[in-house]
Amino acid sequence: MVRRTLPVVFALLFSSPLLAGQQTLFSFVRPASVVNVVTEDAGMPQYNAEQTAGGEVLRRVVFNPAERPTLRLSPQSGVWDWSAGQFLTLRLQSAMDWALTVDVTVLGSDGRTLTSRIDLPAGPAQTVMVPLKASSPLSQGMRAGPPMPWAYAGQRLLLTSSAGAVDLKQVASVSLTIPNPKVAQNLLIEKVGIQDDDQAYQAAYHELIDAYGQSTRGQWPEKIASDEQLRAAEGREQQQLKGWLAEHGKQQLDSYGGLLGGPAFEAKGFFRTEKRDGRWYLVTPEGNPFYSLGVNAVAADGGRTYVEGRDGMFKALPAEGDPLAAFYGKGNNDDGNASSQGRNFKQGRWFDFYAANIQRTYGKPCLPSVEGQPAADCPPQVLDATRWQAHALDRLQAWGFNTLGNWSDPGLGQAKRMPYTLPLSIVGDYASISTGMDWWGSMPDPFDPRFAMATERAVAIAARDHRDDPWLIGYFADNELAWAAPGNDPKARYGLAYGTLRLTTDVPAKRAFLKQLRDKYRNQEGLSKAWGIELSAWELMEDPGFEAPLPNPEHPEIERDYQHFQQVFAETYFKTIADSLKWHAPNHLLLGGRFALSTPEAVKACAEFCDVLSFNFYTLKPEDGYDFARLAELDKPVLVSEFQFGSRDRGPFWPGPLEVAREEDRGPAYGNFLKAALAQPMIVGAHWFQYLDQPASGRLLDGENGHLGLVAITDVPYPGFVEAVRKSNQQAIGQLRTQLAKPLP
């Protein structure tokens, strides 16, 4: 590491204007105060500042190839008092032809830090604003904030998130780091300052969403500006759907979408699985091979977003008396799970932009309200569910889909036009275990008798109206449970074992784990020797907060014991559900646990007790999400229960878990994923997440606001994407026909 302390007096020409409420801490161009400037694996090669093409004067800093090249500022003596400030401001410009990632660290005298990561785009200089108290778009109720930078008060502003905490009266330094550059990176910097008000921050979110639920900060081809545009788009789409549905009707398919004309399977009246010639298949009730091409969350309630407390974010919400005011409602998603922590605006009044837009498209135009009351011939609007359902099914079939994925409108399945799946949501007062993630909640304790009772109740209710329905493929055993914590360290991998041992013996899983250890080791001496610890009394393991040792090569029994407990845990969980389903719904498949985070023990147990393994893969190809060689050893069919590709150029601010550069890239990414899935002989289908874009202002559940949809919040499809999807789905069915004609050796 090369470390240098630099002079602080620089030549200058002129500098950019200040925002109101901004105080300069230090200027690299016109220094008015003295600070210590230190570089580590970085430097300022020129003594003078330089004028950019935009007419600004900034100082060049070169960050050399190293792990963490850094520029650090600190007071000449003592500490800074930033207690009156709300934001740290930095006037920066990338001196490269590409964006730079810059980490900012504010260090307090007590060693605590506040951190922020800046994605600094190429182009002219901008003022970066780092909140001095931990903040993110979640504080405004959404997963991702509006696009940055944006113009405000004559400057390009870039608002960032921050995490951590410092005593703002005792600030020791502020550092800028470019993490692990492969080649030297050049950054231009003018000044560092403190902003003592949040006017710019509030302005960034003011009137962010228009009357149709779209972002006001951009333009794109499908953006709607009037009700007339909505109706015109619907008319064009109907003509297109008519032709595509006619083509769909000519395909050689059975009633359920199975392939006719290929090898015969036994018809048993319900969906089932079968392995033939080395390949797994879903088989329709009529006995034909079926590759499940599905869409999740095909429902009309996905456009709801909280408006209470942040009305200023919305440019034009319906007033009381407006017919569209019928699409207001109330909710509460403050459930205490990790998915709701740190988020504001998660309960109260919501508005359903999607339902309102459907009504604008299909509903009868109304006369204006008089003195706040609806006109006599314009009662409060009600969504025409029957029409919406028929249109959604037309779309899905025209686009080449054949399955209604998880969380879809129950009425769609009842139409008996398309096979469907259902979720099992098991809720009750049973014990639970934290693995360190707990996004949707802690892991249910399957050793608790109350879990078996809750499972019995949930399955009985779910099966009540579907027991004899051949259109139902099967049930998913919950969704994305916290089988482990994120990361590769042992406490993440064995989060279930660690979390259980920290609990009291009131928790059945803790008692089961201790019984396993006592049966094996008999007493504390045996356990101490095997684990390499000093356990003076067995009762010490019963105490809450017991910290188990990390696995290590000198004591391999530690890891074996953790694996064995997690295996028995998973087996108990899946067996409980499978036994209940066999009793209440013997005709339908158990479709697995929709794994996001998983452990080998959980996947193995799922393969033993479920008919299908299901994974949510947010990867370019299925094999990027799991070791398929290991899956092949389990010899079980696999369903991709979620996959997705999103971009930032269609309104919603979050691209979803897997981002592509542009809208035009989503179609090819979909096609490549589906082609790779078909190449895996154990994969029997893939389900897209999801039908509809999430609200740009954040969905009710957790504030997600992703561009994930086949259709926009306006119910207007993304034409390029759906055409690419349709083509890929048709090719997938053709590829399956070819595979059936040429069995694997």
In the predicted model, is pLDDT for residue 3 greater than 70?
no
Q: Which two tokens stand for residue 517?
A: 């250890």
The partner residues of 90 in beta bridges, in order of sequence, read: 128, 192
| β pairing state of 279-283 and 289-290 | antiparallel
Residue 11: which pLDDT band, with cuts at 50, 70 and 90? very low
Please report whether residue 255 resides in a domain.
no
Domain shared by 150 and 29, yes or no: yes
Query: Is the Cβ–Cβ distance between 109 and 79 less than 8 Å?
Result: yes
Please report whether residue 638 resides in a domain.
yes
Domain shared by 35 and 130, yes or no: yes
Domain shared by 479 and 501, yes or no: no
Lookup result for tokens 């051949």: 470
Q: Of 44-48, 410-414, 424-428, 429-433, where does mean pLDDT reach its minimum?
A: 44-48
Domain shared by 464 and 533, yes or no: no
145, 147, 127, 126: which is closest to 135 by C-alpha? 145
Lookup result for tokens 């070819």: 738
- Angstrom distances, CA of residue 313 to CA of 128, 204, 212, 525, 588: 22, 9, 13, 64, 46
Please report whether residue 212 resides in a domain.
no
Please report whether residue 250 resides in a domain.
no
Q: Which two tokens stand for residue 39?
A: 């570089």
Neighbours of 202 (CB within 10 A): 12
Element (H, E) at 674: helix 666-678
| β pairing state of 683-688 and 638-643 | parallel
In the predicted model, is pLDDT for residue 367 greater than 60?
no
pLDDT on residue 268: 97
Average pLDDT value for residue range 402-424: 97
pLDDT on residue 687: 98
Q: What is the three-class DSSP state of 690?
A: coil
CATH number of the domain at 418, please. Answer: 3.20.20.80
Please report whether residue 239 resides in a domain.
no
Half-sphere exposure of 566 (CA within 13 A, CB side): 26
pLDDT tens for 260-298 read 988 889 999 999 999 999 999 999 999 999 999 999 999
Quote the number of domains for the chain.
Answer: 4
pLDDT tens for 161-196 read 999 999 999 999 999 999 999 999 999 999 899 999
More confident residue, 371 or 311: 311
Domain shared by 21 and 45, yes or no: yes
Please report whether residue 343 resides in a domain.
no
Provide DSSP, 317-339: PPPTTSGGGGGEEEEE---SSGG
pLDDT tens for 312-357 read 999 999 999 999 999 999 999 998 888 888 899 999 999 999 999 9
- State which of 182, 197, 212 marks the end of a domain: 197
Domain shared by 138 and 55, yes or no: yes
Domain shared by 468 and 495, yes or no: no
Domain shared by 542 and 653, yes or no: no
Domain shared by 109 and 41, yes or no: yes
Average pLDDT value for residue range 182-211: 94
Residue 572: which pLDDT band, with cuts at 50, 70 and 90? very high
The partner residues of 175 in beta bridges, in order of sequence, read: 72, 105
Q: Which two tokens stand for residue 340?
A: 């709701």
- Angstrom distances, CA of residue 187 to CA of 26, 59, 80, 102, 657: 17, 8, 25, 9, 29
Domain shared by 544 and 396, yes or no: no
Residue 7: which pLDDT band, with cuts at 50, 70 and 90? very low
Residue 13: which pLDDT band, with cuts at 50, 70 and 90? very low
The residue type found at 609 is F
DSSP character for 310? -
Residue 743: which pLDDT band, with cuts at 50, 70 and 90? low
pLDDT tens for 646-685 read 999 999 999 999 999 999 999 999 999 999 999 999 999 9
How far is Cα 666 from Cα 645, in angstroms, rounded to an integer?
6
Q: Which two tokens stand for residue 475?
A: 């049930």
CATH number of the domain at 17, please. Answer: 2.60.120.430
- State which of 507, 541, 562 marks the end of a domain: 562
In the predicted model, is pLDDT for residue 555 greater than 70?
yes
In the predicted model, is pLDDT for residue 14 greater than 70?
no
How far is Cα 714 from Cα 220, in angstroms, rounded to an integer?
13
Please report whether residue 524 resides in a domain.
yes
How far is Cα 402 from Cα 738, in angstroms, rounded to an integer?
19
Query: Is the Cβ–Cβ distance between 217 and 145 less than 8 Å?
Result: no
Range of the domain at 546: 490-562
Domain shared by 36 and 184, yes or no: yes
In the predicted model, is pLDDT for residue 360 greater than 90?
yes
pLDDT on residue 272: 98
Q: What stretches of 250-384 show up as alpha helix (H) in DSSP?
A: 353-362
Distance of CA 429 to the CA centre of its chain: 28
Please report whether residue 354 resides in a domain.
no
- State which of 160, 179, 197 marks the end of a domain: 197
Domain shared by 447 and 497, yes or no: no
